Every structure is written in structure tokens, then in C-alpha cells.
Structure 1
Amino acid sequence: MSVKRTKRGLGIAATAVASLLIVSACGGNEAGGDGEDGATTKLSFANSYPDEHPHNTCGAQVVADALKEDDTGVEIEVFSNSQLGPDAERFASVASGDIDMDIQGASAISASFPEVGALDAAYAFDGPDALFEFVDSEAFEGLKKRMLEETGVRVLDVWYFGMRHFTANQPIKTPDDFKGLRMRFPDSPQYLMNAEALGAEPTAVAFEEVFLALQQGTIDGQENPVPTIKDLNLPEVQSHVSLTGHQVGSVLAIISEETWQSLSAEQQEAVQAAISDTRDGDRKCVEDAEAEIVEEWKSSGEMTVVEDVDVDTFRSQAEKFFKSEYKDDQLALYEAILAGASS
């Protein structure tokens, strides 16, 4: 018989409201629950994105709906917009079993498992097709196994986040164009390495503070996928978007191994299928949004879209940097990625 289990104390949220959300979110059913007696295994599924972002409308919510229609007794509750804390804190909570499932970028995870950061290296992949070719390879299966062993977190699949581009109040076509600019990068080892690899001067600013920092002149520019640039209302404080495509953004759909082992084999299969079956639809939503927004900017003039970027120079500079800076497992992973791209 399945009974509801109580997980360890969370201590994630900074406010009472967030604390209440976490308490209500966390805790599924006891190991082996299969829903046959009518009990429901409730799992929390967290992320950092607004409700209208493709990772929610075409991602997490699609997963929740699919499992709701299934008869395995698994119910997903989605907690978007960093309700359960910022990325780094949430990953630790997934590892401890306090949050069941999450969507995390490789760079955020690299603070706990450095090797995986190479997935976010600048110009590691040429585009989403190359990304998913690698994700479906034996090399990635090995990475998943090592990450599980070291962190207690299982990777279910990878979703496309969008090509990352730079915004500023001037074009950025070559590494020289970064001179004198304070560019915001996320505060993670891999993103800061990307900045150095590309020739930019990085300034770490919290995601939630990017608009204000640009408005106040604390930073001069930043980098993000097109849908995120729009979500943050950056056209109000930035005049140019340069389509550098310097990173194929991706996120890993992850689950606590404690939670995973508490599910029956049938439930595990259902959760895995719901996540993996969502990959293509989520990607299409992101790509459709990218194309629509860029065309909107071009037609309205809301942002100047800079397309004549010297990508070859950026790419060769980045590759030389990472081959010099990466060591051991991270270098091996990076070289495996490059080998896949050239095959």
C-alpha cells in the first residue's frame, strides 16, 4: 500500500510564501507505490522560467498533462519562475531529495559536477541538431552515469533552450567589439570561461537584476536566447542584438535518485517517456519563438538585428582557449563533442 512520505526540511525559500510552496511541493509517495489502491504519487517539477516561457507551456506543463492522462498514478505539480529557489539551490535540493524534478542548465550543474559544464562551452555545438546527436550518443550516456554516481541526480533528457546571442547598445561582430564593454554573464565557472574565451569582460549579475543593471549602466550588455531577451524586456534598454549564436543553449531535465527509486518500474517508464516525448515539441516552440521575435524586431525596428558576425573568428578563438584550459574528464568530454561535430 502506498502512503505519503515526508521529506527532509527544505530551507530553500527566502520568504514565507516560498516556504509554503516548497512544503506543499515536495514529497511523493513511499517507495514502490504504484497507484493501484488509488493513492497518487505527487512529484514537484521546478524551473526558473516564467509561466509563458516555452519550457513551461511546451515543456513542464506538457509533461504534467501527459502523466495526468496516464494511469500509473503519478501527478506532477509545476513550480515555475524560481518559486522553489534559484538554480544552484534547487540542484542541491534535488540531490538531497527535497525537490523531485527540475530543469537545469549544464553551467549551473557544473558547480556541483564540473565535467558537465563543457556542454555549455562557447561554440561547442554548431546548432541544436549537433546537440541532440551528442545527447543520443554513448558518450553522453557515460556522462549521465558519472553524474548520477557523483551527485545522486539522474538526467532524464535534454531540452533545447535556444541559441544565445549578445545585446548591447552597439554591434558586436568580432572579439574586438567587446573592448570597453562590461558584459553580463551568469555567475558560474563555465559562463565566466565563455566570456574569457570570447574576449569579453564579464560582470556577474543575478538573472533577476539584468534589466535594472542595464538601465542603470552597471553593465553595458548581456547574452541570452532571443525568447529570454524578450521576456526580460531588454529592447527597452538595449538597441542591438548581435546574432553570434555563441552557445547552443540547453537544459537538463533531472530527477532525484531518491525519488526515482521510490517509483515503480511502470511509473519510471511513464516519467521517462513523458520527458523524452516532450523534447521535440519543446524545441519547436523555442525555435518558432526565436524566428517570430527576430522578424518582429526587424520589421518594427525595436532592436537592430546584427547578422554579419565573424563567427569563424569567435569559434576558432574559443576552441583554442578550451583546449588549453580544460583538463581531464572535462577536456575529454569537450573533445568528444568536437569529434561528433566533425564526423
Structure 2
Amino acid sequence: MRTPQQSSRPAPRTPRLTALGAAAAIPALALTGCGGNADADPEALSLTLAHSYNDGQPMVDCGVSTIEEEVNGADAGLAIETYGASSLGGDTDRIADVASGDIDIDIQGASALGSVYEPISVFDAAYAFDDVEHLSAFMASGASDEVITDFYETTGIHTLGAWSAGSRHFTANDPIRQPADLSGLQIRFPASPQYLMNAEALGADATEVAFEEIYLSLQQGAVDGQENPTNIIAADNIDEVQDYVSLTAHQQNTNLVIIGSVWDELDDEQQEVLTAAVDQAVDQVTECIADQEEEILDEWRSAGSPEVVDDVDVDAFRDQAFSYLEESFDEESLAVFEAIRGEGE
């Protein structure tokens, strides 16, 4: 797969490209750094898939690559052209482009999608999901139908599937075993409303720091800690500047695979192929992230640095979070939260 690093964008398509027009556009798109289309049918309808991840991350190597391979190899008249590493813009820009039809498929965090439909951000609420199996069960059940349907009716965006990009854990230079251990610590959280609500719910003093500045901010003591999945902590060397990784697993970091109005232009076979490809990608990402987390934790435990804190009082964190969220959510968001929790009980 070619590394999609360049920032050039495919031109807006009005009207939608025909199969012949898409065929003519494929060589030009290939020059801009998109990937995974070398063996596709030259007359296939080209679908742009955008995301914010980098090659080497499981969401790309196990997720995006699976979608590309399955769709491009299905002989269904579809071809996936991928633009990663936010080369088609940040989350907010890409959500708007999916809604307008300038981007076909995108992979977005639930909290980011809250900018266009607030209740969907509840997927990223603290302890909304117990684990990845709970997320999978919710998405496969009728309990998810209302929020997914309302998201579509509000935005015109369909949801093809959802996976966890990893459980989020706290890191700091002190162990965090219970909510009281967060007292007095400045903890970096992403700036989205749901993440900041999570900080309040967990008892953390949130500090907004750009992702690219986390390492330096921790190294210089501008913040005391942060929270991310183990694969991000390891990939960005956060473990070099933090003494403890406390396994709070306070959020499932939910990603949704979304598609705009082009969905309605696909025939039944094409819809089935794309849906099956996303389903397989969800399974692959889930397995890859679990394997990677186990490998990373084993390495840390073996090295003794950072120290892995296993004896976290998750019940205390969960109870505090639930009490706060149930009082703070509006009616729509609370209904989503209760639907998720009902599936987990």
C-alpha cells in the first residue's frame, strides 16, 4: 500500500462521477498519494476513503487495508482510494466533506462525530462500554438502531460499522489506582466536549494540549499525565517520559466507518461487498489491537519501565463516572447511554 502523506485533495465532484469518469480519475488520484488500488478494475466506481491514522497503526494495517483488499478484489465494480494521515483535512472538515459528497467514506471517532450529532459522542463516554465485546454486542443488536438511524436522519451519513481503537488508560509519574489519585494532577485530554466531560466524570483536572505536543509537555512538566490506548502510548514514546501506566480502561476510543450519499448509488451487490469488507475489518482491527496491547504490556512488564499498574479500582472510577454522566447528559444523550448500558448488563 502506498503511503498517503500528501495533502492534495480530489476535486469536488458535481455531479457524481460516472464509472467512465471514475476510471479516468484513478491515475490522477494515484499520483496524490492514495493507496491500495493497483489491481482494481479500471472501470470501477472509485470511492474515496479518508482517515487520520498513519501507516503502521492497527487501524490502517488491519482495518483500512482489509477494506481495500476485500472491496478491490471483489469484482463488484468498486475501487477504494485511500487518503490517510488527515491528508484530506482534520476531523471536522472531513465530516463536512462526507456530508457534502466530496469524500465518500471516512473513519471518525465518535466524539468528533458529536459535532454534527451530539448523542453519537456518547459512544466515547467514560465506561459507556465495558470492553470491546460490549461495543460489538451493542452494534450488532437492535439497541443501537435508534441512535444510528437518528444520526443518519440528522446528517445524511450512514454507519457501516464501528470498532474500538483501543482502551484508554492513564499515564503519570505516580500510580493512579482510584479517583482520589487524580487530585492535584494536570492531565492532558483531547479538546472535544465528550472527552472533557469524561475528565470531569473521572475526577481529573483536564488540560488541553495538542496531540503533537504531548511528549514535550510531559517531558517539561507542563502537564503531569495523559490518557491514550497502549498502542498510542508506545508509538509516540510517551512511556519514555512517564513512570506509570495505570490500566483504567475508562474509554473504548470508538471509531465509526461512515459513508455519505454515494451509498444510495450502489447496487445491492456493491452494498453487500462494502458492508462485508467493513465487518471483516472490524474483526481484524479488534484482534490486532488486542494482540498488540498484550505484546506492549508484556514488554513494559519485562523491562519494569514504565510500571504497569494492574490493581486499579475500576468499580470506583465507573461508579463516579456514571453518577456524573447521568446527571450531566441531556435527554437524548442519556437515552443513548442507557441503551448502551442496558446491552452491557
When normalised by structure 2's length, the TM-score is 0.88
Contact in 2 for aligned 1:242/1:306 (Cα 8 Å): yes
Q: Are 1:266 and 2:269 counterparts?
A: yes
CA shift for structure 1 position 311: 0.9
Letter in 1 for 2:10: V
Give the whole-Å Cα distance in 2 for the aligned partners of 1:241 and 1:136.
32
Aligned to 1:111: 115
Percent of pairs with identical residues: 45
Contact in 2 for aligned 1:239/1:302 (Cα 8 Å): yes
Aligned to 2:166: 162
CA shift for structure 1 position 63: 0.6
Give the whole-Å Cα distance in 1 for the aligned partners of 2:237 and 2:146.
39
Secondary structure at 2:253 match in 1: strand
Give the whole-Å Cα distance in 2 for the aligned partners of 1:25 and 1:217.
45
Q: Are 1:338 and 2:341 counterparts?
A: yes
CA shift for structure 1 position 267: 1.6
Which of 5, 10, 23 is the equivalent residue of 2:10? Answer: 23
Aligned to 1:279: 282
Which of 68, 76, 81 is the equivalent residue of 1:72? Answer: 76
Do the aligned partners of residues 65 and 305 (structure 1) sit closer, same or farther apart at CA in structure 2, a change above 3 Å counting? Answer: same
Give the whole-Å Cα distance in 1 for the aligned partners of 2:288 and 2:327.
37
Give the whole-Å Cα distance in 1 for the aligned partners of 2:145 and 2:97.
23
Which of 165, 168, 181 is the equivalent residue of 1:177? Answer: 181
Give the whole-Å Cα distance in 2 for the aligned partners of 1:105 and 1:125.
15
Aligned to 1:221: 225
Letter in 2 for 1:30: T
Give the whole-Å Cα distance in 1 for the aligned partners of 2:46 and 2:221.
45
Aligned to 2:26: none
Secondary structure at 1:218 match in 2: coil
Contact in 1 for aligned 2:135/2:163 (Cα 8 Å): no
Do the aligned partners of residues 47 and 277 (structure 1) sit closer, same or farther apart at CA in structure 2, a change above 3 Å counting? Answer: same
Secondary structure at 1:308 match in 2: coil
Aligned to 2:323: 320
Q: Are 1:309 and 2:312 counterparts?
A: yes
How many pairs align?
323
Give the whole-Å Cα distance in 2 for the aligned partners of 1:121 and 1:201.
17
Contact in 1 for aligned 2:48/2:83 (Cα 8 Å): yes
Give the whole-Å Cα distance in 1 for the aligned partners of 2:103 and 2:149.
20
Give the whole-Å Cα distance in 2 for the aligned partners of 1:132 and 1:151.
23
Bigger Cα displacement from structure 2, 287-296 vs 175-184? 175-184
Contact in 2 for aligned 1:106/1:119 (Cα 8 Å): yes
Letter in 2 for 1:154: H
Aligned to 1:3: none
Give the whole-Å Cα distance in 1 for the aligned partners of 2:20 and 2:341.
42
Letter in 1 for 2:17: N
Contact in 2 for aligned 1:122/1:197 (Cα 8 Å): yes
Give the whole-Å Cα distance in 2 for the aligned partners of 1:107 and 1:67.
28
Letter in 2 for 1:330: S
Letter in 1 for 2:139: V
Which of 48, 64, 76 is the equivalent residue of 1:60? Answer: 64
When normalised by structure 1's length, the TM-score is 0.89
Give the whole-Å Cα distance in 2 for the aligned partners of 1:227 and 1:44.
26
CA shift for structure 1 position 290: 0.5
Letter in 2 for 1:49: Y
Letter in 1 for 2:274: V
Contact in 2 for aligned 1:29/1:40 (Cα 8 Å): no
Which of 83, 92, 95 is the equivalent residue of 1:91? Answer: 95
Aligned to 2:300: 297
For residues 293-321 of structure 1, the C-alpha deviation after alignment (integer angstroms, 9 at most, x for no partner) is 00001101231101111111111000111
Do the aligned partners of residues 332 and 259 (structure 1) sit closer, same or farther apart at CA in structure 2, a change above 3 Å counting? Answer: same
Secondary structure at 1:278 match in 2: helix
Contact in 2 for aligned 1:94/1:101 (Cα 8 Å): yes
Give the whole-Å Cα distance in 1 for the aligned partners of 2:227 and 2:298.
19
Structure 1 stretches lacking a partner, 5+ long:
1-15
CA shift for structure 1 position 261: 2.0
CA shift for structure 1 position 160: 2.0
Do the aligned partners of residues 30 and 314 (structure 1) sit closer, same or farther apart at CA in structure 2, a change above 3 Å counting? Answer: same
Contact in 1 for aligned 2:6/2:87 (Cα 8 Å): no
Give the whole-Å Cα distance in 2 for the aligned partners of 1:31 and 1:114.
36
Structure 2 stretches lacking a partner, 5+ long:
24-40
Do the aligned partners of residues 247 and 220 (structure 1) sit closer, same or farther apart at CA in structure 2, a change above 3 Å counting? Answer: same
Letter in 1 for 2:255: V
For residues 180-200 of structure 1, the C-alpha deviation after alignment (integer angstroms, 9 at most, x for no partner) is 211111111111000000000
**RMSD of aligned alpha carbons:** 2.2
Give the whole-Å Cα distance in 2 for the aligned partners of 1:29 and 1:276.
26
Bigger Cα displacement from structure 2, 80-89 vs 180-189? 80-89
For residues 229-275 of structure 1, the C-alpha deviation after alignment (integer angstroms, 9 at most, x for no partner) is 1111111221211001111222101111x221232332222111111
Secondary structure at 1:57 match in 2: helix
Aligned to 2:150: 146
Do the aligned partners of residues 32 and 141 (structure 1) sit closer, same or farther apart at CA in structure 2, a change above 3 Å counting? Answer: farther
Give the whole-Å Cα distance in 2 for the aligned partners of 1:142 and 1:72.
30
Aligned to 1:11: none
Do the aligned partners of residues 100 and 34 (structure 1) sit closer, same or farther apart at CA in structure 2, a change above 3 Å counting? Answer: closer
